Structure 1
Amino acid sequence: MPILGHDMLRVEFEKLKIGGGRIEVSLRPTIENLRLGEMPLPSGRVKGIEVDVRYDVLYSPEVARASIKLRVFYVPRDKEKIDEILDEWEEKKVLPGELVAEVVNYTTSELMPLMMHLAKEMRIPYPVPLPRAVVKE
């Protein structure tokens, strides 16, 4: 897996008002910045890309607001492409699809347990629907 770890930088959850009725929730991960980085491992230092990600949870109507910012350490499968990816980001703000997919999937799977726990404690709607059992007659 090309992601070796992450650092959580900021977590904000805010309950705005108590609402009733249908509440829609949408997740919006946004890659804000990329930079060259290194990570120390037992086998030595690894060169890679530090990816700054902001993960927003939007509620409609606006009963709550949530935002998490984290830094993900990404190493492409072809390590020779690190400079190419960073150059393309600096020039055009364009990212390879593989990087976006890996980062979004990783952050979603890592953050969802935390978001579910905080939503439960604050008594706001969960960011993803839970499966419900239904009794059929």
Structure 2
Amino acid sequence: MKKVFCGFLILCFNLSASADDIQGFVGRYLKDFSLEQDLSEYFVEQPQFIFGSHLLVPESSDKAGEFMLGIRSKLKNSEYRESSIISSRAKANIDNYSLVTFHLQRYKADGEVLDEVCSTYGILQGETGYRITSWQPSEASEEGGCN
């Protein structure tokens, strides 16, 4: 019985550490996004960006990073400064792949809240670390959460 209990504790610790690692990875990505840094290192080759029924598949991680920086440039019109993670929820964990939804609060340059949004990332852990395989943005619910 002791072995089963110890095994259970180790499993819970590993799942928690993995979730923390993914949240740290996405936190670094959001920081680099806000600072308009090169984002190509965060993506696999040919990631999928899902916008409702529209699917965009950049041909490389470099193109994916450029696309995201284009979005960042457009956010300047709203005086966007940065995003912070309010909460996250894993929707799937299969081998080295995780599908995680992040509830984000975005801030203006003056520190005021711009809005709240949701972003769902498909994240793969490989030999070189975590990489984004897919991204699907969505609106936060009226209750202030993500579906």
Do both share a fold (TM > 0.5)?
Answer: no
Select the structure with the greater relative contact order (CA < 8 A; seq sep ≥ 6): 1
TM-score, normalisation: structure 2: 0.29
Query: By percentage of residues, which structure has more helix?
Result: 2
Query: TM-score when scaled to structure 1?
Result: 0.31
Structure with the greater alpha carbon radius of gyration: 1
